[in-house]
Structure 1
Amino acid sequence: MRFEREKVQAVIARYSEDISWLAELDCPSVVYNKGTGPVEGAVVLPNIGRESHTYLTHIVRNYPDFPEFVVFLQGSPFFHMEEGADCRTLNALIAEHVERRVPFKGFAWFRMVCDRLGRPHQMADPSKKGRWPGWGKDIPVGKVFERMFGQAAPERFIASAATGLFIVRRDRILVRPLSFYENGLSIIESDPLDAENTGHAFERLWQIVFNGSSNLNPS
């Protein structure tokens, strides 16, 4: 099934990944390129704030003109999906959730529970030492939550889109005002190199961002 732009659009946060798989994707896409080397038709962004910066930039720039569903993906999404996943797997997931009109769904193979500091996490993985300034630090999930929502953070968070791969229905985006997303973007931009792991924190908060409810219980 091939979706039109008015129905489904994919937003791709690319750094250096091979995105040739997009040729097989069953919906139109917009690529935001933060890496080296030109990508035809891509929107060029500064390399700051991880994919969280890309996603919030897209929302702020396009608000309120979204298709019925928006799919947010990293440039290489299949690593965090079920074993053996490829673009056919992704197409099937998109079609299933569009048909069921699911308001929000993470595409990673797992969910995770973390505390206000994002624990447990792998920020001190020796193999990743030096890759970004925030290596070895905790993730300020609680702090970012409080800056986004203006209330005390809960003790734990159940993250259903921890890898930044998810589909969200238009009405779940629009239930929050543009100013809400502008605030989120400013929070990301205040930590451009992810020295405090702010971008990582958003990976654990997307399901709350898009729950559109006055009841912000993350469970």
Structure 2
Amino acid sequence: MTCVDVYGKAYATLFLITLVLNVFLADNYFRPVPIYRQMEYFTRTHNASKKASSGSLVLTQANSTAANHSSQNGVANQPLDYEIVISHFNEKLDWMKPLADHSHVYHKGKDKGPPFDVYKLEKLPNVGREAHTYLYHIIQNYDKLASITVFLQGTDPGGEHRQWCFPTAMAFVQRAKKHKYCKSRHSLYGDWGRISHISKWLKSLQNGQMRRANLTMGEFYTALFGTKPPHGVPLCLSGCFSASRGNLRRFPVSFYEKAISFVNDHSDPEEGHYFERLWATIINVKKKNHI
């Protein structure tokens, strides 16, 4: 083989490498920033509210928009150390801007989303209150849950819900590291009959805006956990709490799939209020570790 042949092959190889690198750079393969792209997900629903207690599931397709760190952008979709999951309708989200890079917003309204970049944005149908959002997140991310997940509604936790919520999202993260997952009371919840709604919730139930559950709290507990309810359970209200990956994975994904079937076909099911009273049980809050 002559020197000309050797140099010719070397130049050809160098040309191919340069061409491949230019293609990858043009497509931003090495730029680790969020992008917005259309994605499709599946939500689980049951045919009618009367079938909720059986947890029968029907797959229905739903479109979602996500802004995420995808693997093709140089980030391999590794679980976060902590993630802020927000169930959003039309609330102002300025309060979560300092933690936007760890915030996963599920939008159930008609907005395009927050006016600033977030770690991830998905659009969901407006069903099931915040319980549906939280359960959906757990199901879809079961194998890649963050070490700590904070679950919040769209309102500032330090605002109208401050009686039941820690003042900031980061306060939830810091407390979770000490195994304190929600701001609760020392007393236990043990009213296993019907919820005695008051104020706007009672009015909502009376005018039909809220769909009445077919089961009492006690019956719902048994349908969900497969056992009779205990004398009392710890209580986290206002849909604000955190959970470790290990605690969420105490239950198999099938448990959460059954759970979401109770809240998947109405914008305001009473079962959403049932879940509000049972999150502490699901996330394994110990009585001494919940304040």
TM-score by shorter chain over 0.5: yes
TM-score if structure 2 supplies the norm length? 0.59
Aligned-residue offset at 1:209: 1.2
Larger RCO (alpha carbons 8 Å, 6+ apart):
1
Q: Deviations over 1:188-210 (max 9, x none)?
A: 22x52434x01110000011112
Equivalent position of 2:257 in the other structure: 182
Correspondence 1:149 to 2:230: no
Structure 2: stretches of 5+ with no match in the other structure = 1-77, 115-119, 287-291
SS in 2 for 1:163: coil
Correspondence 1:22 to 2:96: yes
Structure 1: stretches of 5+ with no match in the other structure = 214-219
SS in 2 for 1:171: helix
Equivalent position of 1:168 in the other structure: 243
Equivalent position of 1:216 in the other structure: none
Aligned-residue offset at 1:154: 3.5
- Within a 5 Å distance, the mapping from 1:29-178 to structure 2 comes to 29-39=103-113, 42-76=121-155, 77=157, 78-82=159-163, 89-91=167-169, 93-100=171-178, 102=179, 105-107=181-183, 113-117=189-193, 119-122=195-198, 128=204, 130=207, 132-134=209-211, 140-154=216-230, 156-159=232-235, 161-178=236-253
State the number of aligned residues. 201
SS in 2 for 1:71: strand
Distance 1:109 1:73, change over 3 A: farther
Distance 1:62 1:123, change over 3 A: farther
Equivalent position of 1:199 in the other structure: 272
Over the aligned positions, Cα root-mean-square deviation in angstroms equals: 3.3
Calculate percent identity across the aligned residue pairs: 28
Moved over 6 A (4+): 108-112
Distance 1:121 1:42, change over 3 A: same
Larger radius of gyration, structure 1 or 2?
Answer: 2
TM-score if structure 1 supplies the norm length? 0.76
